[in-house]
Chains A and B, each alone.
Chain A
């Protein structure tokens, strides 16, 4: 164990910080600390331009291999990049579904043609992606997907059905969809993984208003929507494998960057407590200290995850991470509003209040998406403690 950074790492850190200082300024200044969770709809046009600014500096997809347009950075350097990005107040990444989910999935499971067609648009910040997994009848039980797909005589694919809770579909060019290609099949069998353009007659996107007032997610309806013959990833009927592989990429090196943002939010809460005097309240002090403990846990837990742990399989520290951070974040949201008191009840544009209200509302979703609390606990018990599995009648 060694917490000391090397000198080359420090030089790289300085390089990222300097680049961010020079570029996240001028017309991009207004994006500082914007667009994070709960704030995804902040100035999407400018944030896409910012993605292209990043791309011009070769700061998108930094962990991808060079042959696919990335920088092939080591884990340590990726962590440094994400940390410095967040420390500088870098805006929430419009391209994160492309860069973090579908890109790595195509690199792992895609055909050469798919890689050539799709990876450059992700790297360049010119094509954005949405994730079409959940359906009205398939949430936690994702394998219950009912959206159908079939192949036409010309080899192209058609999709019929509905997805729901689709984040940023209205800001995206493409969607990846899990659909049933074998009629009558059940559960994980008979599913396929397809790539579809959203701008086509067979696709209708309908916004859903969230509790925080915005409409970051949507319903997406498919009525004979088309996908090219070559845009099925993996083999027909083996979509589950690809879909699960993609979820593996969800926890990764960006966690330390996410934590920088958490630390920033924590500071906002501390400042609010100092400003209105609640920092003198013993209970508030206990909760602030408790939140700080959680931040330290997350940092060291992420370092444990990234250093590989021991033995094969999903490590204990990785298994608990999603449950831990999401519940921590939710509690921070409640603390934030308790600190604000009545001032937090009024809709506000005050930069000392608005982000805390966003935190309060959006953190309610943290324990729902990417595996709800209850599903996480099932996984932890079954994979981490070898306890009996839940009955799975659909399998």
Chain B
């Protein structure tokens, strides 16, 4: 048993840290936020083709790097820290993850190599609850006639849908027990993508409506045999990814606060020297390190292979802690910045908005705790 990072893992993390500090600083984030799709296409291009990050979790047989949850978490933490605006999360943590965990062999061959090479942008619903996309599927009906599927319904909030080449959409099929997964190309009749103006402008969402979208049989992409297990595994990994980003958000809130309080003087001394301020920063650090342990632990468990149930609970643990820590730190950052913390100009508000928006992606902390309790108290 060894909990230390390998040299390669440290290298990936450090590379992510320096690239994102360079390309996703406050000014860059603010510029990207107000662009057409909400990200800088050039940076996204470099992430995909130059840095190869889209291939991190994709298996080598599909052209990826074949790395695991640990490497992915390390990169996502840095992305959260810098509030990277890019469809990375949608493409890799949602779509590639769903394809890998529950996609048919044919679907994996069709999409994963292009994703790994950074040539394709995909997305899937993120604004669902604790029931592993069952809630999202309940809003879309799929009917089959001969070789053609027809999809009708809506997805209230899909990230980066405006930029995606394909949307992975969950739907209910009459007579089936589990959600079905479909790949819907962006340019197709009956599909309406309506951009939403979110308070958190660092990740764009759109509402999607499907009015009788017809798809060939091959666009139903789930593998019936792996569906049940795959839904749970994919949801767990997405929660872990959200947690990793939230961890980065929380860390940045602390870093900003420590830096600001060291320079701001009141009563003739740096406000960082007041014990009330020190203790609140220390409390942030305690929660951040606790969350970090949970996130790294869940990632190590996922990377090492574990039962579906154990992985689901461990990732839910990481996700509840991360959501709470993230909001706590964002709130403390604003408070300890005083008046400037309430301005548009200073960055805490950006993190605060992300903290709140991300708090309910794939289930909020209360709902996930109830799910953990159910597992613990079942015996």
Contacts and interface: CB of A to CB of B under 8 A. Distances in A.
Contacts of A2: 1-2, 300, 304
Given A1-B70, A3-B300, A296-B314, A304 B293 contact: yes
B13 to A, nearest CB: 10
A377 B293 contact: no
Given A270-B376, A293-B372, A377-B278, A301 B290 contact: yes
A297 B289 CA distance: 9
Contact of A316 (B4, B289, B374): B289
A347 to B, nearest CB: 29
B344 interface: no
B275 A3 contact: no
Interface in A373-395: 374, 376-378, 380-382, 384-388, 390
A282 interface: yes
A1 B4 contact: yes
A377 B372 contact: no
A5 interface: yes
B281 A1 contact: no
A387 B294 contact: no
A288 B370 CA distance: 9
B286 A323 contact: yes
Contact of B294 (A282, A300, A381): A300
Contact of A1 (B6, B273, B291, B293): B6
Contacts of A309: 4
A5 B317 contact: no
Nearest to A317: B289
B262 interface: yes
Contacts of B4: 1, 307-309
Interface string B311-337: 000100100110000000000000000
A21 interface: no
Contacts of A308: 4
A290 interface: yes
State which size class the interface on B falls in: 35 or more
B340 interface: no
A286 B304 CA distance: 29
A297 B321 CA distance: 9
Given A316-B289, A377-B279, A296 B294 contact: yes
Contacts of B368: 289
Interface of B: 1-6, 9-10, 70, 254, 258, 261-262, 270, 272-273, 275, 277-279, 281-283, 285-286, 289-294, 296-297, 299-301, 303-304, 314, 317, 320-321, 366, 368-370, 372-374, 376-377
30 contacts: A1-B299, A2-B1, A2-B300, A286-B370, A288-B373, A289-B369, A289-B372, A293-B317, A297-B290, A297-B294, A299-B297, A300-B293, A300-B296, A301-B290, A301-B293, A303-B3, A307-B2, A308-B4, A317-B293, A319-B289, A320-B285, A374-B279, A377-B279, A385-B258, A385-B285, A386-B258, A387-B273, A387-B278, A387-B281, A388-B270
Given A1-B6, A289-B369, A307-B4, 11 more contacts: A285-B374, A286-B373, A288-B373, A297-B321, A300-B294, A300-B296, A303-B1, A304-B293, A376-B282, A385-B258, A387-B261
